[in-house]
Amino acid sequence: MAWLNGRGVAAVNYPTGMNLGGDPSQALIHATTTGGFVITLSSVDLGQGIKTVGAQIAAETLGVPYENVVIDTADTDTGPHCMGTFASRGTHRIGNAIMMAAREAREVMMSVAATELEVDAGDLVTDGKGKIHVNGAPDKGISVVDVALAAHFKHGKTISGRGMFMKPKSEVVPETGEMDPDSCQAHACTVAEVEVDDETGEVRVKKLINAYEIGRAMNPALAHQQIVGGAWMGISHALYETTEPYYPDRGHGPTDFSQYLMPGPGDLAEMESVIIERPAANGPYGAKGIGEMTANSPIPAIANAIFDACGVRVQSLPITPEKILRGLDSLREQSNPTH
Amino acid sequence: MKHSVVALTVNGAERQVLVAPGTTLLDALRESQGLTGTRRGCDQGACGACTVLVDGKTMMSCLLPVETIDGATIDTIEGLTPMEGLHPIQEAFLEGFATQCGFCTSGMIMATAGLLARNPDPSREDAVRAISGNICRCTGYEAIIDAVLDAAARMRAAKRDKAA
């Protein structure tokens, strides 16, 4: 009776966005009197960080400090349309819409600044710190605050912009089945190291090593957080979670947190993650989606590591101790038939 | 059934709460004190989102009939937060990206406050045990455990600075 060590590998290609009747997201942006930029969205931040990443994209495009941007995701009844934050589409779709809106607003901002400074708008640059000045002459400039004030009270202008990103619906080519359902694909690979107790069937995930190619990591700390949280869910799918443990018998299903098994803080694997950046041509600043894919490759990697450790190939999730013990029994039966 | 008056010290202020029999501390905090920073997750003691300190001890407020703790001192996330800025535990959670949707966060932070009050220099295992009654569905716990240890280090350093 022993703990058996095994290592498994699995990779995933994951689409960004989806292909129903077209996949749009919209963003509206306007400056307040004091040079704050409010971006109105119907997109929802459920903790994945779209507000942070959206504000980064807007600040970069406008050329103003991140702190000057306010993301307002208040109301899906009144906001510009968004299909939603799902299908790993948020950063790509909403990010692109924000970028378009910010470009349009920037044009107005620069033209007001040009009028105020009595120069050509094409000669102006932003310093990213709240100032607009003539290229090569930092002293000949005006603050974004003063530009916003002038737009509102002297020129009667709104510094605003509209952003609309849509991936049109892609029809299937009847002859070949070809279609273009997504905008780009992100890629990942996980190596899992496990040990399996051949007496109890218990599995311990010792280590997960992940590599992710996600175009550009708009916010590496948030991307890393997504990888760690997703890998934890992957472990959970692989070894713990099920709503119907005796399917097709619907009995004994978990009904609350105490019965629905997921790994706790004491069941974590050591984790090592690498992000590789190969910018996508159609992504905002090259970003692809990293949302859902993070729970994918850990699952087959763990299943492969279990096979490597003890020779049992489990074909259904979760891989419970019972399934491993039954697998070990049938391996023994095959190698040493009793009749 | 008769209502009763329960005396509590909530975040340093003396309060009297009129409650129906069986009212939980969670209900008293959220409904009658308006302290909604303490979250109602499962309402059956399985998730830890409602964690507060009762006389300095980490407790799940959804399991405590408030009539049974007359005279107790309660600390919630609102009381932990200073008038200006953030508590070192909150700073550690924020800077360590230890929160995503945020629903478990006040419970996690209060569980951390309870741990650090009795053990200012916890091991990683101590930190894991301290948050083992608290469920998080986003982070995978790693960042939270790191934040607990970071908060402990920040608070020890602050204490050293104060003594020096």
Query: What ipTM goes with this model?
Result: 0.91
Q: How far is CA A3 from CA A35, A194, A236, B127, in A?
A: 63, 10, 21, 27
Asked if B55 has any chain A CB less than 8 Å from its own CB, the reply is no
Within chain A, strands assigned E span: 3-15, 23-31, 37-40, 69-72, 124-126, 131-134, 137-143, 160-167, 185-197, 203-213, 270-276
Residue B1 has pLDDT above 80, yes or no: no
Which of A205, A219, A228, A241 is the best mutation test for B, with the most CBs of B within 10 A?
A228
Q: Which two tokens stand for residue A208?
A: 């997960």
Domain with residue B57: its CATH number is 3.10.20.30
Of B49, B79, B109, the residue that ends a domain is: B79
Flag if A256 and B42 touch (Cβ within 8 Å).
yes
Do residue B68 and residue B101 come from a single domain? Answer: no
> Which chain B residues have a beta carbon less than 8 Å from that of A49?
100
B164 vs A18: CA distance, rounded Å:
60
Chain B CB contacts of A256 under 8 Å are 42, 44, 46
Is the domain spanning A3-15+184-335 CATH 3.40.1160.10? The answer is no
Contact yes or no for A57/A285 (Cβ under 8 A): yes
Minimal CA–CA distance to B24: which of B135, B41, B105, B11?
Answer: B41
CATH number, domain A23-167: 3.30.365.10
Residues of chain A with CATH 3.30.365.10: 3-15+184-335, 23-167
Q: Provide the number of structural domains found in chain B.
A: 2
Return left, alpha or beta for A26; rule: phi > 0 is left, psi -120 to 50 is alpha, else beta: beta
What is the distance between the alpha carbons of residues B142 and A269, in angstroms, rounded to a whole number?
9
Half-sphere exposure of A325 (CA within 13 A, CB side): 9
Whether residues B107 and B151 share a domain: the answer is yes
- The range of the structural domain enclosing residue B113 comes to 88-163
**pLDDT (tens digit, 9 = 90+) per residue, A283-300?**
999 999 999 999 999 999
The region of weakest confidence among A24-38, A100-114, A256-270, B119-133 is A256-270
- Joined together, the tokens standing for residue B157 give 């350093």
A37-40 and A69-72 beta bridge pairing: parallel
A interface residues, B as partner, C-beta within 8 Å: 46-49, 221-222, 224-225, 228-233, 256-258, 262, 264-266, 268, 271
Query: Where among B79, B108, B134 does a domain terminate?
Result: B79
- Distance CA(A288)–CA(A179), nearest Å, equals 19
Find the mean pLDDT for residues B98-126: 97
Same domain, B96 and B75: no
What distance in Å separates the CA atoms of residue B61 and residue B157, rounded to the nearest whole number?
31
pLDDT at A338 over 80: no
B27/B70 same-domain check = yes
Mean pLDDT of B71-97: 97
